[in-house]
Chains A and B, each alone.
Chain A
Amino acid sequence: MEFFVTLIQVLDSTIRLSTPLLLACLAGLFSERAGIFDIGLEGKMLMAAFFSAAIAAVTGSVWLGLLAGIASSMLLSGLHGLASITFRGNQLISGVAINFLASGLTVLIAQSWFQQGGRTPSLFGGGRFEPINFPFAESLSGVPIFGPIYSELLSGHSILVYVAFLMVPATWWVLYRTRFGLRLRAVGENPAAVDTAGVSVVGLRFAAVAICGVLCGIAGAYLATALQAGFVKEMTAGRGFIALAALIFAKWRPWHAMWACLLFGLLQAVALRFQNIDLGGIVIPVQMMDALPYILTVVILAGFVGKAVPPRAGGEPYVKER
């Protein structure tokens, strides 16, 4: 029974840790499926984390904070789009630039606004996303097996967690069941064909990048206003890159992205819960668990577990005529 309680706690932690990964991963999915590689996920999340916390701290409203976070993230997306779609620049370099820009700007603006060493003031009351408790969560918690799963694992997360997991079927539906999704996928595989059909490649790609900005914005706001009560410099701590790894691991598919993010979240949760895991004589150090997402991604990329084929036109700016 104690094992079960621990398991629920670890899984609960997994859900919290997976959420920002999942949002960022789906953001990258939209962008990369349209042929725009985006390693600026980290920077966009960081920017959104800062602006959501800053605006929530100033106005006292977490919803205004969320909007500000999304807006700031979309602004960076627009910049990425401008550089890599309109001016046909190198998408990777533009992404790196966005990461640096966000890392520097957030601390600079935070220092100038709040004078707290690159932090925002702590949020309280309406400035934070509160956990949502499902109906009857309290009374059902006594029921064996089902009770803890319902009241601890599923209930008691902030609304953004449920939004993130609902985004998975939504993304699948948009990509595979709508005309927009079909065109979006096509523009990542063969933009010339889309162009021949009279659909704007540039327009589609900008739309994808904008969606990417919205999702990164939610991810950043989740970090700063739901999991935490304020912004701390560099608080994304590499989650944007783990999300990219998850995207490759999932081979650019929405449902697989969810499982990959849950797996990576689980690895983190286990590493946090048990520092060194003793498997009957063999001790797995915590560093190993931290490195596993990257190791798994390399294994996938090396082709050991099926082949990960990126969208064919990914990374290449579309040139209409030469």
Chain B
Amino acid sequence: MTLMKSLMGAAAAVALTAGAALAEPALIFDLGGKFDKSFNEAAHNGAQRWANETGGKYREIELQSEAQREQALRRFAEAGANPIITMGFAMADPLSTVAPDYPDTKFVVVDVTWLDAPNLRQVGFAEHEGSYLVGMMAAMASESGTVGFIGGMDVPLIRHFGCGYAQGAKAVNPDVNVIANMTGTTPAAWNDPVKGSELTKAQISQGADVIYAAAGGTGVGVLQTAADEGILSIGVDSNQNHLHPGKVLTSMLKRVDVAVYEAMKAGDGVETGVFVMGLADDGVGVAMDENNKELVSVRMSDAVDEARKGIINGDINVVSYYENDSCPALQF
């Protein structure tokens, strides 16, 4: 028994020191899981890219419940993983308690920009810039002069998406009519594809022929109904063009993979602070691939390229909804 105990103790000590010596990065996926075709899968792709390029190894865990958040953070920190990369705004609270306990460990969080800790790298995205570009494409692809926006839960982040979209659409066609709907005011709004479908049908009956969905699982219903009814839709976060080839105009990409890749590449020397990734550093963008090649005209892609340059060098100012909690181009 004592032998067993000391053996196990030794093994644990070896494991601990091994972890500390190597300082492997660790990646904590959010509840959606590693293969969610969206947010977490993008993180997985970024980590894989780093592993393939450098031959490095990383630790990972897929959270199964809320209670595991702090537990996983502490376990990785105790094991000497550095940096520890976490996904999603729900990590904000556990991080604010755990990060101060491990001052020598660097933590990275995606989609959180409001915490205050010296060893924390917070990565946000300029979603309004990417939404501006897809808004331009929507207005150019629309024949009816009416485009739609369907958000998930009515929170500032989603208004932020819609606001950029409306500004982009109005930049192409000042007379364009932008219809904006939110699915709901509770978290159930992220997973209500039935309501997403009904909203899509309602917007179609009001003349919309391109609809941008920024609504998580609800967006699945939006894209489906748009494809069924023969109009165009725009996906969000990861490239959703393949869901209905030839029916999805484009997707507004949020390059979570780039954020994860860069954090892993920098290793334990990763810079801390608040970083907002925009068009300039490819943090957001529009998806072009063989699935939407037929839908995007040369004129459209030229205009998007030009606007991208304009936004990067400051010629075009896309107003952020956060600036004064209102949108110049759209009334919510």
B289 within 8 A of A: no
Contacts of A228 in B (CB 8 A): 193-194, 197, 220-221, 224
Closest approach, in angstroms, between the C-beta of A5 and any C-beta of chain B?
A: 8
Interface centre among B32, B194, B221 (most CB of A within 10 A): B194
B53 to chain A, nearest CB (A): 25
Q: Give the shortest distance, in Å, between B60 (CB) and chain A (any CB).
A: 15
Name the CB-closest residue of A to B38.
Answer: A117
Interface residues of B: mostly helix, strand, loop or mixed? helix
Binds A, one of B121-129, B140-148, B183-191, B300-308: B183-191
Cross-chain contact of A287 among B185, B199, B218 (Cβ < 8 A): B185
* B205 interface hit (Cβ, 8 Å): yes
Distance in angstroms from B269 CB to nearest chain A CB is: 33
Do B198 and A230 have beta carbons less than 8 Å apart? no
- Kindly state the separation between the CA atoms of A230 and B244 in the bound complex, as whole angstroms: 14
Question: A273: which B residues are within 8 A, CB to CB?
Answer: 202
Q: Is the CB of B202 within 8 A of A235?
A: no
A17, A115, A235, A237 interface centre (most CB from chain B within 10 Å)? A237
- Are B224 and A119 in contact, with the CB atoms below 8 A? no
Indicate with 1 or 0, residue by residue over A158-202, a CB within 8 angstroms of chain B CB atoms.
000000000000000000000000000000000000000000000
B217 x A233 contact (CB < 8 A): yes
Q: Is the CB of B37 within 8 A of A235?
A: no
Kindly state the separation between the CA atoms of A227 and B312 in the bound complex, as whole angstroms: 42
Find out whether the CB atom of B220 lies under 8 angstroms from the CB atom of A119. yes
A17 touches B198 (CB 8 A): yes
B202 touches A238 (CB 8 A): no
Cβ B37 vs Cβ A234 within 8 A: no
Instruction: Judge if B243 is at the interface, Cβ distance under 8 Å.
Output: yes
Binary CB contact string for chain A from 100 to 116 against chain B (1 if under 8 A, 0 otherwise) = 00000000000100011
Q: Are A117 and B33 in contact (CB under 8 A)?
A: yes
Q: Which of A6, A111, A230, A268 contacts B220 (CB 8 A)?
A: A230
B84 at the interface (CB under 8 A from A): no
- Report yes or no: A237 in contact with B40, Cβ–Cβ below 8 A: no
Inside 8 A of B201's CB, which chain A residues have their CB? 9, 13
Q: From residue B61, how far is it (CB to closest CB) to chain A in Å?
A: 15
Task: Tell me, rounded to whole Å, the shortest Cβ–Cβ distance linking B332 to chain A.
Answer: 8
A117→B32 contact, CB < 8 A: yes
A132 CB–B CB distance under 8 Å = no
Query: Taking A228-B224, A290-B184 as contacts, is the C-beta distance between A117 and B198 under 8 angstroms?
Result: no
Interfacial residues of chain B within 172-221, with CB under 8 A of chain A in the complex: 180-182, 184-185, 188-189, 191-195, 197-199, 201-202, 205, 217-218, 220-221
Is B35's CB within 8 Å of the partner chain A? Answer: yes
Q: Which residues in A have their C-beta under 8 angstroms from that of B35?
A: 115-117
Please state if A9 and B205 are interface contacts (CB–CB under 8 Å): yes
Q: Which residues of B contact A268 (CB under 8 A)?
A: 195, 198
In chain A, what residue has the closest Cβ to B205? A9
Tally chain A residues at the interface, Cβ within 8 Å. Answer: 32
Q: Interface readout for A31-45 with B: 1 if CB under 8 Å, 0 if not?
A: 000000000000000
Of the listed residues B35, B36, B41, B193, the one surrounded by the most CB atoms of chain A closer than 10 A to its CB is B193
* A223 neighbours in B (Cβ, 8 Å): 194
Which residue of chain B is the closest to A13 with respect to CB atoms? Answer: B198
Give A83 to B188 CA distance when docked, in angstroms. 29
Q: Flag whether A59 is at the interface (Cβ < 8 A).
A: no
A223-B194, A272-B202 known; A229+B185 contact, CB < 8 A: no
**A:210-253 near B, CB below 8 Å:** 223, 227-230, 232-235, 237-238
Q: Which residues on B sit within 8 Å (CB–CB) of A233?
A: 191, 217
Q: How far is the CB of A155 from chain B (nearest CB, A)?
A: 16
Q: Nearest chain-B residue to A131 (Cβ)?
A: B228
Q: Whole-angstrom distance from the CB of B311 to the nearest CB of chain A?
A: 29
Q: Is residue A275 within 8 Å, beta carbon to beta carbon, of the partner chain?
A: yes
What's the minimum C-beta distance from B290 to chain A, rounded to whole angstroms?
Answer: 19
A103 to B86 CA separation, bound complex (whole angstroms) = 25
Contact between B198 and A122 (Cβ–Cβ < 8 Å)? no
Contacting residues, chain A, for B38 (C-beta < 8 A): 117
**A41 CB, nearest partner CB in chain B, Å:** 16
- Judge whether B36 and A232 touch: CB under 8 Å: no
Q: Which residues of the partner chain A approach B182 to less than 8 Å between Cβ atoms?
A: 275, 286
Q: Could you say which of B36, B243, B332 has the most chain A C-beta atoms within 10 Å of its C-beta?
A: B36
Indicate if the CB atoms of A234 and B188 lie closer than 8 Å.
yes
For residue A118, CB closer than 8 A to chain B, the reply is yes
Asked whether, in the complex, the Cβ of B36 is within 8 Å of the Cβ of A235, the reply is: no
What chain A residues lie within 8 Å of B191 (beta carbons)?
232-235, 237
Task: From the candidates A117, A229, A286, A290, name the one contacting B36 in the complex (CB within 8 A).
Answer: A117
Which of the residues A119, A122, A227, A287 comes within 8 Å of B194, measured between beta carbons? A227
Does A157 reach chain B (CB closer than 8 Å)? Answer: no
- Residues of A261-280 whose CB lies within 8 A of B: 268-269, 272-273, 275
Asked if A116 and B188 sit within 8 Å, CB to CB, the answer is no
Q: How far is the CA of A273 from the CA of B204 in the complex (A)?
A: 11
- Report the separation of the CA atoms of residues A273 and B208 in the bound assembly, to the nearest whole angstrom: 13
A80 at the interface (CB under 8 A from B): no
Q: Is the CB of A227 within 8 A of B197?
A: yes
Beta-carbon contact of A235 and B192 below 8 Å: yes
State how many angstroms separate the Cβ of A11 from the closest Cβ of chain B: 12
Residues of chain A contacted by B202 (CB below 8 angstroms): 9, 13, 272-273
The 12 sampled A-B contact pairs (Cβ below 8 Å) are: A111-B33, A116-B37, A117-B32, A119-B220, A228-B193, A228-B220, A228-B221, A232-B193, A268-B198, A272-B181, A272-B199, A287-B185
Task: Write the residues of chain B forming the contact surface with A, with a CB cutoff of 8 angstroms.
Answer: 32-33, 35-38, 40-41, 180-182, 184-185, 188-189, 191-195, 197-199, 201-202, 205, 217-218, 220-221, 224, 243, 332
10 closest pairs, A vs B, by CB?
A: A117-B36, A237-B192, A232-B217, A234-B191, A237-B188, A9-B205, A273-B202, A115-B35, A117-B33, A228-B193
